[in-house]
A and B are shown apart, each in its own frame.
Chain A
């Protein structure tokens, strides 16, 4: 076991997987940079170790990056492409939505497209309206893609290894505000299967389902509220598509109360999806209305002051949990 950050866990996994499988290439903007290893240093050292034939810097050309990764995956490689910020989905969505996601289905099951797209999500770094969005709900709604969002270093390692080894296209969402979060991670290789939620902490009064960075907030809230005598169970689905609705339903059947915390904009979000799943499948277990905390239906503001209002907060979570507890 080692105590490492999410950034280190991703870097280590990329090293291990590339050493294990020669068909893996990395392709993206600045991924081979010897000095910075991308914007946040996640790919540092990989081009030294594996060479620039396998760790490929490209021009600023997202459609070509994602499209070429898809074409390479169709023809025998196992590319890991980097879409620097998920906000850049706007310039390459066709290659993901109409091409990569649909190859297997529209070619009658005769092909696999084992491509992983690593991308940064989320607010909290003052990066403004076009570098701070969550956007994963857009992708979750597209059949043919799997979507993953780890909240800690252990999950980042196991889920990225699974994403790379998976024969389906996977979008791996890294929240830029939690790269430095440290956790105990086994030194050996391991994978975490998709579609299996993690029970972050056990509780009996209220269930919080939280995603990505919001899992950290939910965990903090649970600790604080336990001193007030409120027992909170926190569920981190870890994979958004497929979603482990079974674990969510089991928890709600135990607690009868549900709060969902999702940094995505509110409409058609993971919060609304989980809410719908529970309303449909665990309605009779509910002892209170389902509550949701999301960012508002606004772009992400650049102002650090406004951004603080934008992102769901610890105090909002505590407040709603107390309300649910008293319901």
Chain B
């Protein structure tokens, strides 16, 4: 059973991700943000439900579609907006941008612009946990596109062979960039079985379903039971990246995928969240708006990195030319 405080946290984090992304999307469309951004809309329940089972000492490795994972793992909106604007005060000092947000103090090992590169890194973090016997777990978020990369198969195998405390969290939105990924639901999770890893396929828009699956996997990992794979099915609400015209999709398909279950609506309609009060929710909504507006204001007025910053932090130290 859920405490009300947990339910409020779940709502607040999902809504924060939603509002954060809608706001930066609008800014991006006006040309105010550099680079590529990739929207997480409709997948919010996954990041939040998984990360509510983790502590700051647990690790996650994220993807190019990483804003939701960052927020759910505890990165602050202010730090993230500074980084999206590539400012000197950004969480990565403006050298990472949207696709490389990382925060070691929160166990966030980085969004990653190379599709499928995260799982070996997450396996390494799980190896640290196993070596130090600290009871921590490591989660790799993996898109359905990434699931076809060899690195993911290598990480699945290594996690089983070394019995690592790790979760392979697949987010299947049916699209590998512009190409429909013709896999039946559950096929990706089943692959884990070929390596000897238990797996489950769930509705990714159902917070409670994701939470339960993640809880089991995390408990199993902490107890030394080894890795688990979870496949969550979600619609792809927007394009591959913001600005993607999605001409490869039928208009009806986009429309119907959008009307498919909204995780936040679904969460509020679920009998398990009945105890939440409308007033409290409204209060949270207001706080979220304020957080984002203040963060944006600060990010826009913050200073650009200096010329010297180009050369710092390539190495800890480097003697040579």
Q: Indicate if the CB atoms of A69 and B320 lie closer than 8 Å.
A: no
- Could you give, for residues 111-152 of chain B, a 1 whenever the CB lies within 8 Å of some chain A CB and a 0 otherwise? 011100101111111111101100000100000000000110
Q: Indicate if the CB atoms of B320 and A242 lie closer than 8 Å.
A: yes
Provide the bound-state CA to CA distance between A66 and B293, in Å.
Answer: 41
CB distance from B280 to the nearest CB of A (A): 35
Q: Which residues of A contact B110 (CB under 8 A)?
A: 103, 106-107
Q: Indicate if the CB atoms of B127 and A72 lie closer than 8 Å.
A: yes
A110 within 8 A of B: yes
Q: Which residues of A contact B161 (CB under 8 A)?
A: 58-59
- Could you give, for residues 28-61 of chain A, a 1 whenever the CB lies within 8 Å of some chain B CB and a 0 otherwise? 0000000000000000000000000110101101
Q: Indicate if the CB atoms of B154 and A64 lie closer than 8 Å.
A: yes
- Could you give, for residues 78-104 of chain B, a 1 whenever the CB lies within 8 Å of some chain A CB and a 0 otherwise? 000000000000111111100010111
Q: Indicate if the CB atoms of A71 and B315 lie closer than 8 Å.
A: no
A168 within 8 A of B: yes
Q: How many A-B residue pairs have CB under 8 A?
A: 172
Q: How many residues of A contact B (CB 8 A)?
A: 55
Instruction: Output the nearest chain A residue to B136 by Cβ-Cβ distance.
Output: A75
Q: Which listed residue, A54, A72, A77, A108, touches B95 by the CB 8 Å rule?
A: A108
Provide the bound-state CA to CA distance between A61 and B124, in Å.
Answer: 13
Provide the bound-state CA to CA distance between A140 and B112, in Å.
Answer: 23
Q: Indicate if the CB atoms of B109 and A74 lie closer than 8 Å.
A: yes
Provide the bound-state CA to CA distance between A74 and B110, in Å.
Answer: 11
Q: In the complex where A64-B158, A69-B124, A95-B117 touch, is A245 in contact with B321 (Cβ < 8 A)?
A: yes
Q: Indicate if the CB atoms of A70 and B124 lie closer than 8 Å.
A: yes
Q: In the complex where A53-B131, A95-B120 touch, is A112 in contact with B125 (Cβ < 8 A)?
A: no
Q: Which listed residue, B95, B121, B158, B318, touches A70 by the CB 8 Å rule?
A: B121
Q: Which residues of A contact B162 (CB under 8 A)?
A: 56, 58
CB distance from B107 to the nearest CB of A (A): 8
Q: Indicate if the CB atoms of B318 and A168 lie closer than 8 Å.
A: yes
Query: Which of A104, A108, A193: most chain B Cβ within 10 A?
Result: A108
Instruction: Output the nearest chain B residue to A143 by Cβ-Cβ distance.
Output: B314
Instruction: Output the nearest chain B residue to A237 by Cβ-Cβ distance.
Output: B320
Q: Which residues of A contact B61 (CB under 8 A)?
A: 71
Q: Which residues of A contact B317 (CB under 8 A)?
A: 167-168
Interface hits, A7-43 → B, CB 8 Å: 25, 27
Query: Which of B103, B150, B154: most chain A Cβ within 10 A?
Result: B154
A105 within 8 A of B: yes
Provide the bound-state CA to CA distance between A77 and B129, in Å.
Answer: 10
Q: In the complex where A59-B161, A94-B117 touch, is A71 in contact with B124 (Cβ < 8 A)?
A: yes
Q: Which residues of A contact B120 (CB under 8 A)?
A: 63-64, 66-68, 70-71, 95
Provide the bound-state CA to CA distance between A58 and B93, in Å.
Answer: 36
Provide the bound-state CA to CA distance between A146 and B317, in Å.
Answer: 10
B319 within 8 A of A: yes
Instruction: Output the nearest chain B residue to A115 by Cβ-Cβ distance.
Output: B124
- Which B residues contact A (CB, under 8 angstroms)? 59, 61, 90-96, 100, 102-104, 109-110, 112-114, 117, 119-129, 131-132, 138, 150-151, 154-155, 157-158, 161-162, 312-321
13 CB contacts below 8 A, A to B, read A67-B117, A67-B151, A67-B155, A71-B109, A74-B109, A77-B132, A99-B114, A107-B110, A109-B313, A144-B314, A195-B320, A242-B318, A243-B321
Q: Which 6 A-B residue pairings sit nearest by Cβ, starting from the closest? A: A71-B124, A67-B120, A242-B320, A109-B313, A108-B93, A195-B319
